[in-house]
C-alpha cells in the first residue's frame, strides 16, 4: 500500500525516541492491567465456578457463588464505564456481547440456585450452565492474550467462530422448526432406555430426539 507524502511527517513523529518511550510505557501499563483482570477473572470467577461442580456442601456453594457473583459485578462495572464512554460504538465490538451475555446468564443461574438452595436443576438451567462454561473459557482466553502467542491463537479462534455462527444459527432454527412440527403432528418420543426421564419439557425431549436423529 502506498503511503501519501503528507503522512511522512506523522511517521517521523512516531519515530522520535520520546514518543516511542511513551507508547512503550502505555503498552506495558495496559498489559499489566489486563494481566490483573486475568487474575481476578481466573481466581474470582472461574475457580469458584468450576469448584462448585464438585462440591455438595450448601455453605461452600453459597460462598463460591457469592464470590463469583461479586467478581461479575466488578467486570460489569467496567462494561458500564465503556458504554458511557463509547455510547453506540460499544455495540460494534463482538467482545462486549460476550461480556453482557455472560453476566446475564450467570445472574439467572445465580438467582435460581440461590432461591432453591442448590437443589436439582431443571433442563433450562443445565443448558445455561453449558453455555456459560463455553463463554467463560472463551473470555479466559481473551484475557490470556496478554501473554505472547495467545493473541494470534485467539484471532484465529475468533475468525473461525464468526464464520460458523451463521451455520450454527441456521441449524438451530431447522431443529426448532422440525421439533415443533413433530409436536404438532403428535409424533411419539422414542425413549426405550429412559434417557429423557429426567426432562420434564416435552419440547426439550423432542428436540433432543430430533438432534439425535439428524446426527445419526
140 & 130 share domain: yes
Q: Does some domain include residue 53?
A: yes
63 & 120 share domain: yes
Distant-in-sequence, close-in-space partners of 96: CB < 8 Å, separation ≥ 6: 79, 82, 90
**Alpha carbon of residue 28 to chain centroid:** 27
24 & 110 share domain: yes
37 & 143 share domain: yes
DSSP state string for 20-74:
HHHHHHHHHHHHHHHHHHHHHHIIIIIHHHHHTTT---HHHHHHHHHHHHHHHHH
Q: Does some domain include residue 62?
A: yes
Name the one residue in this structure whose C-alpha cell is 440461590: 114
Q: Does some domain include residue 122?
A: yes
The residue from 113, 129, 147 where one domain ends is 147
Using CB atoms within 10 Å of the CB of residue 187, give its burial: 0 to 12 exposed, 13 to 18 middle, 19+ buried: middle
43 & 108 share domain: yes
**Contacts from 121-124 at CB under 8 Å and sequence distance 24+?**
122/200, 123/199, 123/200, 123/201, 123/204
Looking at residue 192, its pLDDT comes to 67
Name the domain count of the chain.
2
Domain residue limits at 171: 149-216
110 & 190 share domain: no
The residue from 130, 147, 164 where one domain ends is 147
d(CA 113, CA 177): 31
Distant-in-sequence, close-in-space partners of 46: CB < 8 Å, separation ≥ 6: 136, 140
37 & 104 share domain: yes
Q: Give the mean pLDDT per block of 10 residues along the chain (216 residues).
A: 50 60 60 76 86 85 90 86 82 82 90 84 80 84 67 72 83 85 75 68 77 70
Distant-in-sequence, close-in-space partners of 93: CB < 8 Å, separation ≥ 6: none
Looking at residue 126, its pLDDT comes to 79
138 & 162 share domain: no
Predicted TM-score (pTM) of this structure? 0.60
104 & 171 share domain: no
d(CA 92, CA 97): 9
Name the one residue in this structure whose C-alpha cell is 467462530: 161
Q: Does some domain include residue 4?
A: no
15 & 115 share domain: yes
C-alpha closest to that of 95 among 163, 148, 133, 141? 141
14 & 74 share domain: yes
The residue from 127, 147, 167 where one domain ends is 147
Q: Does some domain include residue 195?
A: yes
C-alpha closest to that of 157 among 184, 126, 134, 129? 134
138 & 202 share domain: no
Amino acid at each position: 500500500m502506498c503511503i501519501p507524502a503528507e503522512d511522512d511527517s506523522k511517521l517521523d513523529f512516531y519515530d522520535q525516541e520520546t514518543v516511542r518511550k511513551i507508547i512503550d510505557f502505555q503498552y506495558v501499563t495496559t498489559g499489566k492491567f489486563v494481566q490483573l483482570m486475568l487474575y481476578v477473572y481466573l481466581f474470582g470467577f472461574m475457580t469458584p465456578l468450576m469448584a462448585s461442580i464438585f462440591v455438595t456442601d450448601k455453605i461452600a456453594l453459597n460462598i463460591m457463588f457469592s464470590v463469583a457473583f461479586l467478581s461479575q459485578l466488578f467486570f460489569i462495572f467496567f462494561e458500564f464505564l465503556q458504554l458511557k464512554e463509547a455510547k453506540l460504538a460499544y455495540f460494534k465490538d463482538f467482545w462486549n456481547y460476550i461480556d453482557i451475555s455472560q453476566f446475564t446468564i450467570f445472574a439467572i443461574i445465580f438467582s435460581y440456585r440461590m432461591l432453591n438452595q442448590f437443589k436439582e436443576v431443571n433442563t433450562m438451567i443445565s443448558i445455561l450452565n453449558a453455555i456459560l462454561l463455553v463463554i467463560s473459557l472463551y473470555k479466559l482466553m481473551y484475557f490470556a492474550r496478554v501473554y505472547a502467542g495467545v493473541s494470534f491463537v485467539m484471532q484465529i479462534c475468533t475468525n473461525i467462530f464468526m464464520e460458523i455462527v451463521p451455520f450454527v444459527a441456521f441449524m438451530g432454527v431447522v431443529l426448532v422448526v422440525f421439533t415443533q412440527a413433530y409436536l404438532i403432528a403428535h409424533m411419539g418420543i422414542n425413549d426405550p432406555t429412559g434417557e429423557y426421564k429426567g426432562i420434564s419439557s416435552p419440547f426439550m425431549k423432542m428436540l433432543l430426539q430430533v438432534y439425535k436423529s439428524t446426527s445419526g
